[in-house]
Amino acid sequence: MSTTSPPPATAAVQYDFRDEHFISAQDLAEQLSGGQPPVLLDVRFRPGLADPKAEYDAGHLPGAHYVPLSTVLADAGSHRPAADGALPLPEFTTLQRALRGFGINDDSRIVVYDNRHGLSAARAWWVLRWAGLADVKVLDGGYGYWKGQGLPSSISRPKSQTGTVTLKPFGPHGQGSLPTLSTKEAAVFAPAGVLIDAREAEHFSAISQGPATHIPGAYSSPSTTDLDHNGLLLPAEALRAKAVDAGLTSGAAVGTYCGAGVLAAHKVLTLATIGINASLYVGSWSAWSAATSAEQAARACN
């Protein structure tokens, strides 16, 4: 699943690549009113949301297709071992079939959004880029900000489409076009590289539950802290300052993880806007804790 080696962080973080990966509500509204709007994908996902499709049906961007994260952007279910994590990557053929049903072609412009200020939609951005699609952007601020600006919504579902996109597996074992980390690689990533824990700080330190619960050597930098009070991505200057605090400008390789590979994808996204490449530990803490439990059980049996 992983590439041969993670890419190094670049020292040239003075550049701002935000427009390559994000689109503002105002710019998207203009594009939707034009003759060739982008394909819209609605990724309703957040912990504790019992029925994301019902929330989508209650209101979404006009023409947006609902995308179930766990079955399209992941291959989750009881058929996968716990050591693969809660949201392992989808099979290329399954993902390709779903994307064609959304009317996506090889040259499609795609905008993904969610009900969580982009924190979940970033998983869609990452998976589609991993699958070889080049023009994928996240709606800055998500659906909540869009509605707050008085922009239109719809309760109608778009018709199924017939796209022709052909995904391109990369590498001898079908790895994607973005770098990943395996559990073994995550275990030895630090201190030579910087491994970022994108979960909320309380999950990193687990002060109320006893010992810290994070991968040894990891640095806590919650993805939620990359957003302002409106749910918009912080200015590049603020993101650069956070990167410096984490030691990401030293040329060391960068990896990210979270609970199940969603918030960590957002961290990869935000770092990309300031010119820093990062590898995603897709299995994240869900895979790490399962592997740790299995190792402890094996020791107990010896």
CA distance 282 to 260: 7
Residue 89: which region, alpha, beta or left (left: phi > 0; alpha: psi -120 to 50)? beta
**E strands, 44-143, in order:** 65-66, 110-114, 136-139
DSSP element (H, E) containing 156: none
CA distance 225 to 27: 24
Residue 253's DSSP bridge partners are: 8
Which of these is catalytic: 124, 258, 269, 272?
258
Q: 280 vs 5, 142, 254, 285, CA distance in Å? A: 12, 22, 9, 12
Q: What size, in residues, is the chain?
A: 302
Peptide bond into 191 cis (omega under 30): yes
Phi–psi pair at 20, nearest 5 degrees: -80, -20
First and final CA of the chain: distance in angstroms? 30
258 an active-site residue?
Answer: yes
Query: How does strand 136-139 pair with strand 254-257?
Result: unpaired
Q: Which residues are catalytic?
A: 258
